[in-house]
Amino acid sequence: MSANYDALLIPPGANQKGGIEVLRAGVVDGGLHVTLRRAFNDPKAWGILLADVARQVARVYAQEGDEAEDNVVERIRDAFSSEIDAPANSGSIGPIG
């Protein structure tokens, strides 16, 4: 039996210029499932990548009128700080939507 997985499209820039996928994350039954490749020699690059992703997430919330971008970034920063210091649930992120 095969279930459907609602995958995102390849980013337009990657379709045009090529590139390498470094991270894929999905939520299945409330749990986080990740595949990734090391991709960078310096782990600091992952911090930059995660910060860029957080900003893009905040922009989406702001564009959809849910909350101001800076507020979203602050909420993400607080959750990241709490989770990185003491993982609460090793991958469970709660309901979607």
Please give the Cα distance from 25 to 80 (Å, whole number).
16
Mean pLDDT of 23-39: 91
pLDDT of residue 53: 97
Summarised one tens digit per residue, pLDDT across range 47-84 is 999 999 999 999 999 999 989 999 999 999 999 998 88
The pTM score is 0.81
Rounded-to-integer distance, Cα 9 and Cα 24, Å: 12
How far is C-alpha 71 from the chain's CA centre? 17
CA 82 from chain centre, in angstroms, equals 16
CA 87 – CA 94 distance, rounded (Å): 14
**Domains of the chain (ranges, CATH numbers):** 21-85 (3.30.2370.10)
